[in-house]
Amino acid sequence: MQFVKYEQRGFVGIVTIDRQKALNALNSEVLGELEQTFDSISLEETRCVILTGAGEKSFVAGADIGEMSGLSKAEGEAFGKKGNDVFRKIEAFPIPVIAAINGFALGGGCELAMSCDIRIASENAVFAQPEVSLGITAGFGGTQRLARIIGLGKAKELLYTTNKMKADAALALGLVNAVYPLESLMDEAAKLAEKIARNAPIAVRATKKAINDGMQVGIDEAIVIEEKLFGSCFESEDQRNAMAAFVEKRKPDPFVNR
Ligand code: DAK
């Protein structure tokens, strides 16, 4: 692949968007490679994914403005669908995805981060949704996910004004979970991913699905979703072993994903 690199480190997969000459902006090729990369991740071998940008300046500086500049209405819609399909794939990916935001997260970059489960950022990260200053709406889920994460009022302010926000402000709003010096961002992301990967994979996957699916429906339906996913964890080797270990007052064996 030209623009998206993949590295497997134990149970953790690291996906890096590497198009540094355009600050990792998302053109059609990047979106296509991102989709292929996620499609090829083995769920047998991988329990958590980290998504980051190459270099020290930018996570993703948005959708590619050059590519978008001449699009027709139909092409614009098709481009939006391509991005939305990939972002939705990441959001619904069976295992957790951590965005390690190492600089600019603008427009489609902020939207990409929002499709991940957990966001952590470097101190130099900058967030914004600049789309209305370019004559378009946010098109990769920004009008939908930002309000769900930080609340309606602040999301509307950011989307209408295009104001830039530094990492500490993003932290205060809950857009990111933690902020670290740039040089330690990937180590912190790896620590978080490894901690998740040490837990029972079937249970982690069921938890992600329960939260994601439950957030889309009313509480009565959501509780039923949880019940079914809770039930689905029983009779697994990992559930049997972990509970037996507790009852027998011993340390559980490492989880085997069965
Ligand atoms: N697209 C294409 N190229 C970009 C880019 C982008 N988003 N961002 C940066 N680059 C390129 C620059 O053109 C420059 O290329 P060269 O001139 O060297 O060839 C190179 O990256 C380095 O950028 P700068 O020289 O500008 O670097 P600075 O440090 O001076 O400034 C900056 C960094 C991030 C502040 C600045 O580059 C900037 O403002 N970039 C644009 C950020 C932006 O507005 N991003 C949001 C894009 S809009 C939709 C689908 C999708 C979307 C919307 C609708 N539907 C179809 C409905 C999504 C929209 C967006 O994401």
**Does 105 score more than 90 pLDDT?**
yes
Q: Around Cβ 141, how many Cβ atoms within 10 Å?
A: 21
Residue of 51, 200, 214 whose CA lies nearest to 117: 51
CA distances from 107 to 60, 67, 133, 190, 256 (A): 8, 15, 11, 26, 39
The per-residue pLDDT for 129 is 98
Q: Best substitution site from 21, 65, 67, 112 to test ligand 1's pocket, by max atoms within 8 Å of Cβ?
A: 65
Residue 58 bridge partners (DSSP)? 104
Q: Best substitution site from 23, 87, 129 to test ligand 1's pocket, by max atoms within 8 Å of Cβ?
A: 23
Residue 15 bridge partners (DSSP)? 6, 51
Rounded mean pLDDT of the chain? 97
pLDDT in tens, 179-234: 999 999 999 999 999 999 999 999 999 999 999 999 999 999 999 999 999 999 99
Give 62 Cα–ligand 1 centroid separation in angstroms. 6
The per-residue pLDDT for 184 is 98
CA distance 101 to 96: 16
Q: Which residue has the tokens 């489609």?
A: 108
Cβ–ligand 1 contact at 141 (below 6 Å): no
Give 25 Cα–ligand 1 centroid separation in angstroms. 6
Give 67 Cα–ligand 1 centroid separation in angstroms. 11
pLDDT in tens, 135-156: 999 989 999 999 999 999 999 9
CA distance 58 to 71: 25
Q: Give CA angle at 229 (231, 145), nearest 5°.
A: 165
**Does 80 score more than 90 pLDDT?**
no
SS (H, E, C) the chain: CCCEEEEEECCEEEEEECCHHHCCCECHHHHHHHHHHHHHCCCCCCCEEEEEECCCCEEECCECHHHHHCCCHHHHHHHHHHHHHHHHHHHCCCCCEEEEECCEEECHHHHHHHCCCEEEEECCCEEECCHHHHCCCCCCCHHHHHHHHHCHHHHHHHHHHCCCEEHHHHHHHCCCCEEECHHHHHHHHHHHHHHHHHCCHHHHHHHHHHHHHHCCCCHHHHHHHHHHHHHHCCCCHHHHHHHHHHHCCCCCCCCCCC
Cβ–ligand 1 contact at 65 (below 6 Å): yes
Residue nearest to atom 25 of ligand 1 (CA): 22
pLDDT in tens, 59-69: 999 999 999 99
